[in-house]
Amino acid sequence: MSEDIQKLKEENERLTKINSVKSEIVSIGAHQIRTSLAALKWIIKMFLDGDLGKLNTEQETLLRKAYDGNERAIGLVSEILLINKSEQVVEKEYVFEEINLVDIIEGTIFDFSGESTARGIEIIFLKPSTNGIPHVKADKEKIRVVFQNLIENAIKYSNYHGKIFISIKLNDDDFVQVSVKDSGIGISEDSKRQIFEKFYRTEKAQKKEAMGSGIGLYTTKKIVENHGGKVWFDSIEGHGTTFLFTVPVWEK
């Protein structure tokens, strides 16, 4: 190995280490801030609920403002934690093993059942009737993040009473293909190019869902590509979106 390549390798290792220490500091700091904000939330709530005596109108108005501001701060810190976690997940070493994607899909749908029911949304898994879907070569933790991001988005950007269809098939002999289809707000032609960019959110999405970081699809793309697969989408604004991705079949 030439001296230059060795130097680059060492520099890369040094930067990776610095980045990991940074992530840890952000994580510890953000958790501490969120714990303090959560404590503050319950104290203000006790006042607002009248547990500590009746408030006059002025006191109540001010405390309501404090409560709302505190809620926004909790939301922001939660977003910081999410971004930080996503970066850690993508960068962490990949451990590939033989995985049954059907189990992961079912588990993730179960995890989101409370959220989807609360929004009146039905998630339908078009599970293959035969045992025809081969196992794939994947990192379990990371591929679960891909499903979480796609299903969470399908729920967030669907309208009340929307339906989400998830299907899985063998694409060719080498890849299993999964699709997550919603009938939600869709993505405009102008936005399509940028959809996988880090921190990108469409205006429509921001109006529908104030909370969001624009990190989910960026993370999804990185993870799928690190598996040797592809991710893409079809969408018609106002009618819905289908995200699709492939994962390589497990070779015995």
Among the listed residues 222, 206, 144, 226, the one whose alpha carbon sits nearest the alpha carbon of residue 178:
144
Which residue's CB is nearer to ligand ADP, number 112 or number 218?
218
Measured distance CA(22)–CA(80) in Å, rounded: 13
x/- map, 183-202, ligand ADP, by CB under 6 A? -xxxx-------x----xxx
Q: Please identify, using beta-carbon distances, which residue of 212 and 229 lies nearer to ligand ADP.
A: 212
Minimum distance between the CB of residue 164 and ligand ADP, rounded to whole angstroms?
9
Find where tokens 């009938």 sit. 183
Q: Which residue is nearest to ligand ADP (CB)?
A: 216
**Is 215 among the residues that bind ligand ADP (CB under 6 A)?**
yes
Contact assessment for residue 221 and residue 231, using Cβ atoms and an 8 Å cutoff: yes
Task: State the Cα–Cα distance between residues 7 and 116, nearest whole angstrom.
Answer: 51
Q: Does 104 bind ligand ADP (CB under 6 A)?
A: no
Question: Pick from 108, 212, 221, 231: which binds ligand ADP (CB under 6 A)?
Answer: 212
Regarding 27 and contact with ligand ADP (CB under 6 A), the answer is no
- Which residue among 205, 223, 231, 249 contacts ligand ADP (CB under 6 A)? 205
Among 84, 116, 149, 183, binds ligand ADP (CB under 6 A): 149
Angle of the 216-226 helix axis to the 140-156 helix axis, nearest 10:
150
> Any contact of residue 241 with ligand ADP (CB under 6 A)?
yes
Q: Which stretch binds ligand ADP (CB under 6 A): 6-14, 84-92, 108-116, 215-223?
A: 215-223
**Cβ–Cβ contacts within 10 Å for residue 189, how many?**
9
Q: How many CA atoms lie within 13 A of 27 on its CB side?
A: 13
Segments of the chain assigned E as strands: 97-99, 122-126, 136-138, 163-170, 175-182, 231-236, 240-248
Rounded distance between C-alpha atoms, residue 64 and residue 60, angstroms: 6
Shortest distance (Å) from residue 233 CB to ligand ADP = 8
Count of beta carbons in the 10 Å neighbourhood of residue 79: 16
Neighbours of 85 (CB within 10 A): 16
Q: What SS3 class is residue 123?
A: strand
- CB 59, min distance to ligand ADP, A: 36
Question: Smallest distance from the beta carbon of 41 to ligand ADP, in angstroms?
Answer: 23
Contact characters 152-181, ligand ADP, x per CB under 6 A: -xx-xx------------------------
Cβ at position 64, least distance to ligand ADP in Å: 28
> Which residue number, 214 or 229, has a Cβ lying nearer to ligand ADP?
214
Which residues contribute to the site for ligand ADP (CB under 6 A)?
149, 153-154, 156-157, 182, 184-187, 195, 200-202, 205, 212-218, 241
